[in-house]
Structure 1
Amino acid sequence: MSTTEVRPARPSSPSVPAGTGALVGLLSVGAALAAGHLVAGIVSPPSSPFLAVGDAVVRLSPQGLTEFAKSAFGTADKTVLLAGMAVVIAAVAAGAGLASRRSSTPGAVVVAVLGLLGFAAVAAMPAFAPLDLLAPAAALAAGLTVMRRLHALALRRAADEVRAEDGGMSRRTVLLGASAVGAASLLAGGAGALLVRGAGDSRQMVTARLAAAGFAQASAIPPGAAFPEVGTPTFLTQAADFYRIDVALRIPRMSAQDWRLRIHGMVDREVNLTFDDLMARGLVARTITMTCVSNPVGGDLISTAEFVGVDLRALLMEAGVHPEADQAFATSVDGWYAGTPVDVLMEPDRGALLAVGMNGEALLPEHGFPVRMVVPGLYGYVSATKWITDLELTTFAARSGYWLERGWAERGPIKTGSRIDAPRTSARVRAGRVTAAGIAWSQPDGISRVEVRVDGGLWRDAELATDVSGVTWRMWRADLDLGAGSHTVQCRATTGTGVTQTEAYADPVPDGASGWHAVVFTAE
């Protein structure tokens, strides 16, 4: 009689459930990002690894991709980028957790690689300082710690075949551990955001100081300076509606008390200013139209405001600019940099400012609080550095601005332009008397004439709004008698010196768009 020996099956090695593994990965990377953001809020806000990686993506993106993002998403382009990064990181984190169902090693490797990317992005920041490495270091340590601890907790639960009351680990214990990590991460990330936001609380104080300060007022805007009743913008743009184009993923939050400006380089004497020093000087108010070089023909990246600040030419004369210096190289608190032609800044009537106020209030954070540059007649990419903290007098041969390094032109004078605001393209209007209206600009020469034509016919003069100054836009309107059907209206402007806007079309890159704006609509 034979017997068959039955051996017990070897128990398989424990494995974390797929859902739990993905959750462990997500919580580990989330803890890393939260810890990095918290430490960055304490030490150096730009050193948050998540934001530093985003800034690196912006700096390294091809020019075509950057322009596409601006045209497709406008001021939401940064939100879209950060949201896309969050989705990618979440997918990677979940994948790392799934790959770590039996061992935490794969997940730890992914966390370490992400941590090293954070280190590299922070170290590559334009305004890097050794202290900035604390945030990515905290992120890496938190991510690895959470990965190992939560994985061990989940693995023990998976290996436990007995009920909790018999000494085993309950599912509730695992869930409590995961919940604690998630809550701590949210609190850390939120605390980091609050620490960053707190630096902007002095804006109300600056607004109050401006209200109490006596300074040379800008000329009052005359009642006939705009035609909003027929479709033009109001003459002054509300600060909240003023166009915004920059590369900052995180709006710098600096208090006025902490602000400093150093004017140095090719000067006779270095000038160092605090915000109180700036406010103690003679403040002036100037109404200025600003335009972005990325503005396409007919685009809306143009706005006008009354800026209050200190005359920049006077500061440069005090420093004593050397004759061979042809560039004022401005640097923002977040490391962004741009070069402005010195000869433009030194023009007696140009009116360049270090601005502290806008439309009667302190600058909004997104528009440069506490101090920014404003130079009439130059596109913003070479003249309008926000959150400015350093101004070096140098040469274009010695240093290149951010956008010059990316193929844009060196000097950036604003081209003469005009736009039709009403009727809009594809609009349907009543046949008969139709009013076309829009804006025109040519800084610093101003606008002397705007002409319109219908369906390629003869040009006719439009009615101009009351002129305010050569450095602001000018509104226009024209009454047209139109029959039923599709119509095309074009406009062109002539400068105060008699030069008519060119018909030749040019893309914004490298020195601004040109061409006559046209709209096609239907009268019925």
Structure 2
Amino acid sequence: MRTSTERYVRAGISGLVAVGCGLASGELVAPAVSPFASPYQAVAAFLVDHSPAFARQFAIDTFGTDDKSALMIGMVGVIALLATSAGALQTRRPPLGLVVVVLVAAFGMIAAATRPTADWSYIVPPVVAGLVSGVVLVVLCRGSNPRSDDHALDVGSRDGVVPGGGWSRRRFTGVAGVLVLVSVASVVVARQVSRAGGVMAERARAMLPTASSPAPPVPGGAELHVDGVTPFVTGNDAFYRIDTALQVPQLSTRDWRLRIHGMVDREVTLSWDDLLSMPTMERVITLTCVSNEVGGDLAGNARWLGFPMRELLDRAGVRPGADMLLSTSIDGWTSGTPLAAITDGRDAMLAIGMNGEPLPLEHGYPVRQVIPGLYGFVSACKWVVDWEITRFDRAQAYWTKRGWGVQAPIKTASRIDRPAPLSKQPAGRIVVAGTAWAQHRGVRGVEVRVDDGPWQPATMSTEYSVDTWRQWTWDWDATPGQHTLHCRATDAAGRTQPEQRVAPIPDGATGWHSRVVRIEG
């Protein structure tokens, strides 16, 4: 019984160590190919790209901005299960364990080869990972199946081989331990190599130019200073992040280029220095993710510094008939923006600064797009390196290929920030407060209702611009009992939020936000 139990334990450990060594070797080789050639990251990106819409929305709804971490943790669990299975099969019925390794490596090759930026070299890391995993699996499994009595297992021989052809416990543990240490060291080296370009250090040293057209000062009335209400300007650390980049691209200003081509009079390629030679603009603009549920927090307001996109397009000369800007990120992600939203006079910009700092890496350093009034999936391309001027009937972007909306203007929204949901409050005066937005149209007002009572107008903060959100408050004389608070906003054109709840996908959620509170007498 003891021999049998130890055999199974060793088999599982053999599989885990073998696959771990393979993954580590793949990560070590990947930086020599491309910053995006990691087999692990390639598989994760493949799963994101090919998962059904309901699964993606479930991940965002459940894990929020931690959806990528949840995916990585889930992958670790699946890989561990496959690894232990490979070890067990290779020990009991060789070469079935190797078959599992080959299949996993083949999947990694497919995932790597289908990345948007891939060439033939992208298959090298998963091939190396598969070869290393296979060799280590065979070696460890041969030593993990002792056919000896309990005494031999405990004592072993001087060279670590016990009667029956297996390894002693000490030798097996030692070899496995060394391989684990080598794997960990390989991953550490790979991470250091991938950071050798010094993009983080470059950002820390970067100095932003002074805005040629500075943003108007924020009036005192734009911030109501009510506890529990989202601040008017969202800090960089608190700003939401929703994108498909499982590995944050690290692109230096030295290597950055923007190619403008397609339906243009002349193709243009801009460098970082070319960009800095242009006049800069600074604007406060609210961005919103299409995945934001009614009452959600996937919206943020920041002070952006950048360059007018319209002037960049003028350099290339847009030909008649074009109606779409297809923007491509350094990692291959694409967005399709209506050209009208860039040329109609709104403050569409190629941003390099956020709240007085160079863009954080995760928010698009060194260059990203900021376009008021459109959901991010059709406008807010981060790490942007390519603009193709085209038509909507000729090209599709990443999310539109998956059934999402095409034009995607931001819908009017409002939410209750306080009181907290399901909270207990004393009877009497209670300040109900929240935030509302209708970018590039502006918010005219917000109304609040208790249960099925009449709608009451809220007090609005001073409007900064039609491209930013507004705070609101309403004083409630609360009576004992359980109550449901509702809010709705009306935009500057007089259109009020509809009551009917609509899911975020394909082009944005609608419906009134509500909160249940308990008033104690």
Provide the identity percentage.
42
> Which amino acid in structure 2 is aligned with residue 275 of structure 1?
W
> Which amino acid in structure 1 is aligned with residue 330 of structure 2?
V
> Which amino acid in structure 2 is aligned with residue 87 of structure 1?
G
Could you tell me which runs of 5 or more consecutive residues in structure 1 were left unpaired when the two chains were aligned.
1-13
Show the counterpart of 1:173.
171
Is residue 278 from structure 1 mapped to residue 275 from structure 2 by the alignment? yes
TM-score, normalization by structure 2? 0.92
CA distance in 2 between counterparts of 1:381 and 1:235 reads: 23
CA distance in 1 between counterparts of 2:103 and 2:172 reads: 26
Show the counterpart of 2:232.
235
CA distance in 2 between counterparts of 1:79 and 1:21 reads: 29
CA distance in 1 between counterparts of 2:450 and 2:509 reads: 23
Relative to structure 1, the CA distance from residue 102 to residue 15 in structure 2 (aligned partners, 3 Å threshold; closer, same or farther) is: farther
Show the counterpart of 2:343.
346
User: Equivalent of 2:32, from 28, 31, 42?
Assistant: 42
Post-superposition offset of 1:180: 2.0
Is residue 326 from structure 1 mapped to residue 316 from structure 2 by the alignment? no
Q: Tell me the alpha carbon deviations over residues 208-247 of structure 1, each in whole angstroms, 9 at most, x when there is no partner.
A: 5434645432112222212232432111101111111112
User: Equivalent of 1:429, from 425, 430, 436?
Assistant: 425
Q: Tell me the alpha carbon deviations over residues 377-402 of structure 1, each in whole angstroms, 9 at most, x when there is no partner.
A: 00001111111111111111111111
Show the counterpart of 1:186.
184
Is residue 505 from structure 1 mapped to residue 495 from structure 2 by the alignment? no
Post-superposition offset of 1:329: 0.7
CA distance in 1 between counterparts of 2:268 and 2:161 reads: 70
Which has more radius of gyration?
A: 1
Q: Tell me the alpha carbon deviations over residues 450-487 of structure 1, each in whole angstroms, 9 at most, x when there is no partner.
A: 22222322222211111111100011111122222222
Is this contact kept in 1: 2:429–2:475, CA < 8 A?
yes
Q: Which moved more, 1:204-213 or 1:458-467?
A: 204-213
Is this contact kept in 1: 2:211–2:282, CA < 8 A?
no
Post-superposition offset of 1:496: 2.1
User: Equivalent of 1:115, from 93, 105, 110?
Assistant: 105
What's the secondary structure of 1:418's corresponding residue? strand
Relative to structure 1, the CA distance from residue 158 to residue 399 in structure 2 (aligned partners, 3 Å threshold; closer, same or farther) is: farther
Is this contact kept in 2: 1:210–1:360, CA < 8 A?
no
CA distance in 2 between counterparts of 1:212 and 1:341 reads: 29
Show the counterpart of 2:450.
454
Q: Which moved more, 1:297-306 or 1:255-264?
A: 255-264
Is this contact kept in 2: 1:285–1:307, CA < 8 A?
yes
Is this contact kept in 2: 1:418–1:438, CA < 8 A?
yes
> Which amino acid in structure 1 is aligned with residue 113 of structure 2?
A
What's the secondary structure of 2:444's corresponding residue? strand
Kindly report the root-mean-square deviation, in angstroms, between the aligned alpha carbons of the 2 structures. 2.3
Show the counterpart of 1:11.
none
CA distance in 2 between counterparts of 1:436 and 1:168 reads: 74
What's the secondary structure of 2:270's corresponding residue? strand
Relative to structure 1, the CA distance from residue 276 to residue 507 in structure 2 (aligned partners, 3 Å threshold; closer, same or farther) is: same
Show the counterpart of 1:379.
375
Is this contact kept in 1: 2:202–2:252, CA < 8 A?
no
CA distance in 2 between counterparts of 1:167 and 1:71 reads: 53
CA distance in 1 between counterparts of 2:148 and 2:137 reads: 16
User: Equivalent of 2:265, from 259, 268, 276?
Assistant: 268
CA distance in 2 between counterparts of 1:241 and 1:163 reads: 58
> Which amino acid in structure 2 is aligned with residue 182 of structure 1?
V
Q: Tell me the alpha carbon deviations over residues 353-386 of structure 1, each in whole angstroms, 9 at most, x when there is no partner.
A: 1111111111112111111111100000111111
CA distance in 2 between counterparts of 1:502 and 1:374 reads: 27
Is residue 516 from structure 1 mapped to residue 512 from structure 2 by the alignment? yes
CA distance in 2 between counterparts of 1:156 and 1:515 reads: 66
Relative to structure 1, the CA distance from residue 204 to residue 147 in structure 2 (aligned partners, 3 Å threshold; closer, same or farther) is: closer
Post-superposition offset of 1:104: 4.9
Is residue 473 from structure 1 mapped to residue 469 from structure 2 by the alignment? yes
CA distance in 2 between counterparts of 1:278 and 1:207 reads: 19
User: Equivalent of 2:51, from 48, 61, 77?
Assistant: 61
CA distance in 1 between counterparts of 2:376 and 2:211 reads: 28
Q: Tell me the alpha carbon deviations over residues 472-505 of structure 1, each in whole angstroms, 9 at most, x when there is no partner.
A: 0011111122222222222222222333333333
Relative to structure 1, the CA distance from residue 476 to residue 108 in structure 2 (aligned partners, 3 Å threshold; closer, same or farther) is: same
Is this contact kept in 2: 1:198–1:253, CA < 8 A?
no
Q: Which moved more, 1:324-333 or 1:96-105?
A: 96-105
What's the secondary structure of 2:258's corresponding residue? strand
User: Equivalent of 2:199, from 189, 195, 202?
Assistant: 202
CA distance in 1 between counterparts of 2:423 and 2:96 reads: 58
Could you tell me which runs of 5 or more consecutive residues in structure 2 were left unpaired when the two chains were aligned.
none
CA distance in 2 between counterparts of 1:522 and 1:173 reads: 65
Relative to structure 1, the CA distance from residue 523 to residue 102 in structure 2 (aligned partners, 3 Å threshold; closer, same or farther) is: closer
> Which amino acid in structure 2 is aligned with residue 281 of structure 1?
M
CA distance in 2 between counterparts of 1:55 and 1:124 reads: 10
> Which amino acid in structure 2 is aligned with residue 164 of structure 1?
S
CA distance in 1 between counterparts of 2:492 and 2:338 reads: 23
- Summarize the alignment of residues 57-206 of structure 1 with structure 2, pairs less than 5 Å apart: 57-101=47-91, 104-154=94-144, 163-165=156-158, 168=161, 171=168, 172-199=170-197, 201-206=198-203
User: Equivalent of 1:291, from 283, 288, 298?
Assistant: 288
TM-score, normalization by structure 1? 0.92
> Which amino acid in structure 1 is aligned with residue 376 of structure 2?
G
Is this contact kept in 2: 1:204–1:362, CA < 8 A?
no
Is residue 226 from structure 1 mapped to residue 219 from structure 2 by the alignment? no
Is this contact kept in 2: 1:157–1:174, CA < 8 A?
no
CA distance in 2 between counterparts of 1:80 and 1:153 reads: 35
User: Equivalent of 1:494, from 485, 490, 500?
Assistant: 490
